[in-house]
Structure 1
């Protein structure tokens, strides 16, 4: 019970401080609600983002809520992850680099009953972070003044998930989420600072299914499906204008605006060959096209992503040295961007790898690294590449243990 109280306390801290978190410095995060986040743990990230079909008994797999029914009974799982990203932006005026990092996941899970699994936690949903220098002409003059456009904040998600094992082969799950957060956008001139705050709160649900069977005795296979309906979010907007000495000139409410969470459909396979080798593949479709950017050069479109990953453990049960018990992982993904930039929609690919370190009593430490780059990006104003690191810890705590009486 003390572990549960501590977990709920940490969850509360994350929620309270959610608005200060961001994991991007992309100038394109100024459009819509910002850059989309998935909340992957270190294992899934090392596998290229694969996880819809994964029915692990020792990880809280938020990529498919049906997976919660496969957690080990009598054990409480606590997952926390952090991510660090190093971005390179290349444009006509040169190259710039930036680094960002923050917590990207907090999740807990357990089984109240044999066929019922639960999970709850906090993950970022979108993140905004940019700083753009754009000198502009002073009205009525041929001189320019320094103008900076800055953005921060994003949307976060607190979720409660439930999964039920309908039969030995079939599990169904649902995540019910509270989406909240604020996006801050500032225009900083020499004499004035114009600040706008846009915030929202909404309830959202997504569904999951997993069906498992055996191709042969040593080749189990799991099929996963996920679905999240699109949702219209009302953004309440506030503006204030301050002079350079911080004195307030104007403070007012603006008209409400709207952004759209995408309709999301996912299908995945996860299989094993014996106990040493695992593999997976996911297909995801997200429809962002309802969103508007406010710029004639930027539009939103439908996004399709394919992810694949493999995992190898030399000796899962009988390791005689440290290296034989490690999990070695690699993955790859490719997707079109959800933004159409200057009538171009570039492809983005990720090459990933990682290692899982087993700890005592079913706990683990998972580390991953990914290289991300864009294809066909020569026709867009700013090309983005990144190196991403993810570290997650999964703690397993036995709640109930039956003791045999001699």
Structure 2
């Protein structure tokens, strides 16, 4: 694949991705909280490894869990990585049993290693997604016996565009930095219906801000790999547009309209992660721990409280012989487990999740790879007023690599 084809495909996918982010990309009622549901999908093999990757290299494609991994991309190869996912969501509560299906991009990434001097990458990915619907909420009009019905629909989310840069400064010690820009829009439409009128409130909230991160990786005795990541806290500035309109006697009139009104900023916390991996012959074992200090942001939400988030991840993969010329000897089989305590506490209960995953990496030629993974997640609980989610997720990711920067041997 030549360079111009990479650029054309990247541009096309960027356009499709930008369109998709304006639509509902999740069916989770918990996306009503904060700026939506965190996006935990990743490039390459990580989704099949229980979302581990802090200590892993980039031998199997781009690894977005640690910017230091970009120096371990294959020398003078450019890698183009993109993927998508489909989620089958089942929601249960005391009086609820509902199924949803949603689709989303996971990432669009372009990266290369220049003569093993440095590794660099550019990525566009969803950071949060919003897609909730509250319908048929009935209330009484104050001072009257008449009732009105409310329907509330939320869509949108935030996107992240990030630049990663990594170098090896000491033997077996890699350092990477990332610079991210988060931006996006969350739309909420509320319709209030009475016997003779229809009131509609359209509110669009815009958020944007920059974030910096650091990553370290160290290899000990060619067997033990250690990783550290730090994402610095940051502030996302916000503004909103509001349009309030009324339908009465088949006529529509705007009652109120405001643009670019300031709203409270949203604070992202300090995030720290540790990773370890090792190999026993052709078996890779990996473990990650992440902590996100949400309670230190001192922000509140009408629905619940922010609490520190702990994430524990385990993964394993096996390939009989990655260098073999036999196809099935190079296939990489993966599995993983993940526990996420969540950063949301409602009615004194943490909205945590448990995930198990299976994955496979199928070689395409000598340099490219097709990654497929399946994950089953349980999130939330049916206790109190809460909702329990069972989510079946299928991730498909394509990692295409090609040699660049090669001198011609013959003119």
TM-score (norm 1): 0.92
1:95 aligns with 2:100: no
Give the whole-Å Cα distance in 1 for the aligned partners of 2:301 and 2:54. Answer: 34
What does residue 324 of structure 2 align with?
A: 318
Distance change in 2, residues 1:95/1:242 (3 Å): same
Residues 201-220 of structure 1 correspond to what in structure 2 (within 5 A)? 201-214=208-221, 220=223
Where does residue 277 of structure 1 map in the other structure? 283
Q: 1:229 aligns with which of 224, 229, 232?
A: 232
Corresponding residue for residue 362 of structure 2: 357
Task: Report deviation, 1:15.
Answer: 6.3
Aligned to 1:369: 374
1:250-307 per-residue CA deviation (whole Å, 9 max, x = no partner) reads 1014442121112110010122222x21111000011222264542x51111100100
Deviations along 1:104-146, one digit per CA (max 9) or x if unpaired, are: 2111100234220000010111111100122222333334332
CA distance in 2 between counterparts of 1:302 and 1:67 reads 27
Cα 1:222–1:337, aligned 2, differ >3 Å: closer, same or farther?
same
- Could you say what secondary structure the match of 1:68 adopts? helix
**2:264 equivalent to 1:257:** yes
- In structure 2, C-alpha distance between the alignment counterparts of 1:42 and 1:95, rounded to whole Å: 34
Superposed counterparts of 1:143-292, under 5 Å: 143-190=146-193, 191-214=198-221, 220-244=223-247, 245-253=251-259, 254-274=261-281, 276-289=282-295, 290=297, 292=299
Structure 2 unmatched runs, 5+:
none
Residues 82 and 105, structure 1, Cα contact 8 Å, conserved in 2: yes
Q: Distance in 2 between matches of 1:262 and 1:14?
A: 30
Q: Indicate conservation of the 8 Å contact 1:372/1:385, yes or no.
A: yes
**1:399 aligned residue (387, 404, 409):** 404
Return the alpha-carbon distance in structure 2 between the equivalents of residues 363 and 389 of structure 1: 20
Unaligned 5+ segments in structure 1 are none
Aligned to 1:340: 345
Structure 2 counterpart of 1:131:
133
**Structure 2: distance between partners of 1:243 and 1:152:** 22
Contact 1:81 1:391 in 2 (8 A): yes
TM-score, structure 2 normalization: 0.91
Secondary structure of the structure 2 residue equivalent to 1:41: coil
Aligned counterpart, 2:45:
43
Aligned to 2:45, the other structure's residue is in SS state helix
The count of residues paired between Structure 1 and Structure 2 equals 398
Instruction: Determine if contact 1:18/1:181 at 8 Å carries over to the other structure.
Output: no
**Alpha-carbon shift at residue 380 of structure 1 (Å):** 4.7
Q: Does 1:388 align with 2:390?
A: no
Partner of 2:312: 306
Q: Contact 2:380 / 2:389 at 8 angstroms: preserved in 1?
A: no
* Stretch moving more, 277-286 or 338-347: 338-347
Asked whether the 8 Å contact 2:44–2:63 carries over to 1, the reply is no
RMSD of the TM alignment (CA)? 2.1
Secondary structure of the residue aligned to 2:47 is: helix
Alignment of 1:65-84 (within 5 A): 65-84=67-86
Are the aligned partners of 1:194 and 1:239 in contact in 2 as well (CA < 8 Å)?
Answer: yes
Deviations 1:177-221 (A, max 9, x none): 11111111111122111111110222211110111122xxxx622
